[in-house]
Structure 1
Amino acid sequence: MKIAITGGTGLIGQALTDLLIDKGHSIYILTRNKSNKKEKADVTYVEWLHDSANPELELEGVDAFINLAGESINSGRWTEEQKRKIIESRLSSTKEINRIFSALQTKPKVLINASAVGFYGTSETETFTEEHTTPGTDFLASTVYAWEKEAEHAVPKEVRVVFTRFGIVLDKDEGALPKMLLPYKMFVGGKIGTGEQWMSWVHIDDVAGAIVFCLENDSIEGSVNVTAPNPKKMKEFGKTLGNVMGRPHWFPTPGFLIKTALGEMSVLVLEGQKVLPKKLENHGYKFLHSNLEDALSKILQSKK
């Protein structure tokens, strides 16, 4: 297939591109500046999101769009300006996809749009599946809801739309895990906040695998939770991480210190939600990493 990817140079985009190339697909990565991109076999860089760009001229005949573009929610304190960037970067990229779709003579068959489990809001007691359709009320939930709605309206009715709601992605070099490793390396790892907050994690291999699974299965549409089937409370996650690293789990970090340091962004650490991948499992997706200890062991071994 001929597949266009926005956000293709990020953490998820790189893993996904490698997997799709291994499967024999041709990849078109949309970028603001292709001159600084290293050429790669089976990858074509297409400029977009500036006045002189006409990406539709190179994308006729594309079979699928995968939209991963957006300002990272981990890129700094959530000032009003940063929150504006987080929301607008997602909406503007999705609106541009709408424009590209309208310009293409032959429409792609599917749009897979990145999303997040933040849609559900936070809870220590509730379990969320795709059957929960009411969004939470915090900043992340409202951002995800607006992003999904924009994507829903961005394509013709004949195009299948999938919202891949990612959990906390575990990777050796990027994302949340490297930051979580640091205190354990210094022998001061331990409970963060109450430790009762849920962490719906997923290995980067399963993020890429789940996207490809959704791409290849025409019966999948709408929201899809991309999380491992065994979420953990933060205190259990920390203990497992300490065991895998051979480090103690003993030094608690009070929630008020994290709130002081991170402000509103502290919700990423101090609050969470228990999310299960019901739709993926019902359609037969086989997780590569469903056990946290095994997932962490593989990641840490690959760092050596």
Structure 2
Amino acid sequence: MHILLTGGTGLIGRQLCRHWSSQGHRLTVWSRTPEKVAKICGDQVRGIARLEDLGAAPVDAVVNLAGAPIADRPWTHKRKALLWSSRITLTETLLTWLEGREHKPQVLISGSAVGWYGDGGERELTEESPPVNEDFASQLCIAWEETAQRAEALGIRVILIRTGLVLSAEGGFLSRLLLPFKSGLGGPIGNGRQWMPWIHINDQIALIDFLLHRNEASGPYNACAPKPVRNREFAKTLGSVLHRPAFMPLPAFVLKIGLGELSLLLLGGQRATPVRLLQAGFTFQFTDLRAALDDLSGRL
């Protein structure tokens, strides 16, 4: 199978490249720095700067994961424009290219996030749930999904991956927590009651591969473990795994002053569950947070 990836050098993308390369698939990554693709993703992965560089080579599947990190810095007008462009504008460019191809891929797997729902409070959120609060992160995910779904008009099946907080030893949000927690300064954020829908990187890769090979799969899937935890429990468990105390709370007002609108992303949460994945027969390797963090602890 020939798979085209955007965001192929990111945390999830590079793991997918390794996984699919080991299965013998042909991989191409559309990247702003194609010369770095082979080093990051593997020698067998081709990097291209322009979609036109593919020529008439048939593509069986497209996996669209590109997007600037959403929580790296405050949401200034300039930052919001970059977040929008790196997701929606890029996906529009991808659709224009797909529209002009004689032989179209069978499936488009497009990224999204549980932030699609907004701050869900105590509500249990399945793929059937509507958005609860449309903050900027929610609006961004809604527009991203709506743009990707336009590929259906081209006869391409569309799968939407609403990813939770990915636990990995190679980067992501967990890496940003290590310094304060290892220093004994970790703890809950705000009141610590907000829900955190987490997923181990191994399960994230496995579920994308699972959906890629299911011809009937389409629409949104919550990519998170079946048992979300509250922020306070997450902090306590991470502290225990690292053998450090985790009782230093980060007050909400400090976050609001320092991060502005971005603080809503950290103070809110989603009690999301992967109903459609479980119904499809996917089996999670990690359903317990402690087990997931223990698995990663030796590499953190």
* Interval of TM-score (by shorter of Structure 1 and Structure 2): over 0.9
Corresponding residue of 2:46: 44
Q: CA deviation at 1:191?
A: 1.9
SS for the counterpart of 1:302 is: coil
SS for the counterpart of 1:164 is: strand
144-153 or 173-182, which moves further after superposition?
Answer: 173-182
Unaligned runs of 5+ in 2: none
1:82-123 CA deviation, whole Å, 9 max, x = no partner?
011111221121111112212221110000000010111102
Q: CA deviation at 1:74?
A: 2.2
SS for the counterpart of 1:154 is: helix
The answer to whether the aligner puts 1:264 opposite 2:266 as a matched pair is no
Unaligned runs of 5+ in 1: none
Whether the 8 Å CA contact 2:99–2:154 is kept in 1: the answer is no
Q: Distance in 2 between matches of 1:283 and 1:36?
A: 36
Q: Distance in 1 between matches of 2:182 and 2:36?
A: 35
Q: Distance in 2 between matches of 1:110 and 1:128?
A: 26
Corresponding residue of 2:19: 19
1:176-217 CA deviation, whole Å, 9 max, x = no partner?
111222222111222210000010011111111111111011
1:1-304 equivalent positions in 2, closer than 5 A: 1-38=1-38, 40-48=42-50, 54-57=52-55, 60-134=57-131, 136-303=133-300
Change (3 A) 1:9 1:281: same
**What letter corresponds to residue 168 of structure 1 in structure 2?**
L
Whether the 8 Å CA contact 1:117–1:225 is kept in 2: the answer is yes
Q: Distance in 1 between matches of 2:58 and 2:68?
A: 28
Whether the 8 Å CA contact 1:55–1:100 is kept in 2: the answer is no
Q: Distance in 2 between matches of 1:37 and 1:208?
A: 19
1:257-301 CA deviation, whole Å, 9 max, x = no partner?
111121111122211110000111111111121110011011111
Q: Distance in 1 between matches of 2:208 and 2:178?
A: 27
Q: Distance in 1 between matches of 2:111 and 2:290?
A: 26
Change (3 A) 1:257 1:65: same
Q: Distance in 1 between matches of 2:132 and 2:254?
A: 28
Q: Distance in 2 between matches of 1:260 and 1:3?
A: 44
SS for the counterpart of 1:111 is: strand
Q: CA deviation at 1:56?
A: 4.4
Q: Distance in 2 between matches of 1:188 and 1:134?
A: 34
Whether the 8 Å CA contact 2:121–2:194 is kept in 1: the answer is yes
Q: Distance in 2 between matches of 1:73 and 1:184?
A: 22
Q: Distance in 2 between matches of 1:231 and 1:71?
A: 25
- Count of residues in correspondence between the two structures: 298
